[in-house]
Copies of this chain bind each other. A is one copy, B any other.
Amino acid sequence: MLIHPDRLFSAEPEARAIARCLYASVRDLPIISPHGHTDPRWYADDEAFPDPATLFVVPDHYIFRMLYSQGVRLEDLGIPERGNSQPERNARAIWRRFAEHYHLFRGTPTRLWLDHTFATLFGFTERLSARTADDYFDRISAALKTPEFRPRALFDRFRIEAIATTESPLDPLRHHETLRQSGWHGRVVTAYRPDPVVDPDFEGFRDNLARFGEITGCDTTTWSGYLEAHRRRRAFFRDYGATSTDHGHPTARTADLPRDDAEALFRKVSTRQVAPEEAELFRAQMLTEMAAMSIEDGMVMQIHPGSSRNHNLAIFSKFGRDMGADIPSRTDYVRALKPLLDRFGNERNLTIILFTLDETSYSRELAPLAGHYPALKLGPAWWFFDSPEGMRRFRELTTETAGFYNTVGFNDDTRAYLSIPARHDMARRVDCTYLANLVTTHRLDEDEAHEVAHDLAYRLAKEAYKL
């Protein structure tokens, strides 16, 4: 048996019994996936996924970073080099390589997600290994050819009530348009991720600004035109269901410059390469501008700071972005957010959802901030911490100060479509285990735990993201 019905619950019988009971009441709730990176083309075109390697290994940085750390070359996993969007791939060879190294994932969430997927979607009962690699490959390949494994069929099978993809302002939202016209019932919305036109260090930033002007019909060579372009493009995104924006800055720094200074800074960053400090200040200012627009248009704002992107120079040069070489770094929130909070922190009709890759900030900064400011909420444990221990620490370190109701439930943040049920299942189990622990230590009554379990699994995400 690949997955056990009691997985992730405490082994202590009393706590396990309560966790089982809590989990039973939330297991089958619909999935709200308010933040993620699945490809809207999947839902629009509803084509079959090509093969197990291309589906599971090639796009999953959790998988290939681990294999790479142990000496497997990215080329041998089918990762395309820059400029080669359709590399030759021997899917079976890649799959075997992955299967031979499956022991590397012992103790990791990736292992749990994969086993859950292999068991529940494909019916496997034996572990993936060098010995079972071909059987896995053949059976998954066969399944992927059937209508039941098309994206829309899976969407229903996964019981997804709403899912958000993430697009740049420069994206024409073509797939979302296809989707809309298709009349399909599934709710797939976009989200506004303006980093390419907000971050002066983004590749091609100044070209992006020009393109941004063309798309929106605004004069993005001026500060007011540039802001207007954002306003229009946010409205365009809202037409395609967007209820949120997302900001992936290196730090959480915000600024609230006088208008003239902001304008002068924009002139600089929009016309030439600037010093790191100026790029940082511009990003900082833009978080405050985005918050101002959110108050106008009601879009929820997500801040995902603290990743040192593309840390590995050689890998970045050869393979480009998102190659498993993004490394967290220390992130300050207390000073960084102050300019934004001084201006908008007390707004009750603004929701800013904070994420972190620096777990030290949970109890020291994030819970105290979210436990005070009406505008702030805490996003779930993110990325490397989207894991059983990571989620447990998140609850243990935030609940006592911020409670449950300044958090927003779970989001899967994934591009690995087939892992979505596994990820939500993990979050529901870990939260139920946490709640069961509160109940067995008499810190929470069981009827309350049931209510909270439901809130964490479903209601809070739906409400916070207005879905």
Contact = CB atoms under 8 A, between A and B. Distances in A.
Interface in A50-72: 65-66, 68-71
B327 A369 contact: yes
Contacts of A131: none
Contacts of A452: 106-107
Given A341-B312, A368-B384, A443-B388, A405 B328 contact: no
A7 B11 CA distance: 19
A171 interface: no
Interface in A1-39: 3-4, 6-12, 14-15
Interface stretch (A79-87, A153-161, A200-208, A394-402): A394-402
Nearest to A390: B400
Interface string A95-111: 00000000111111101
A346 B9 contact: no
A328 B108 CA distance: 29
A357 B346 contact: no
Tell me which of A11, A66, A332 has the highest count of chain B C-beta atoms within 10 A of its own C-beta. Answer: A11
A9 B443 CA distance: 10
Interface stretch (A138-146, A234-242, A358-366): A358-366
Contacts of A357: 364
Contacts of A369: 311, 327
A341 to B, nearest CB: 7
Contacts of A127: 445
A390 B127 CA distance: 32
A275 interface: no
| 6 shortest interchain CB distances as A-B pairs | A7-B442, A4-B442, A11-B440, A107-B399, A387-B400, A313-B342
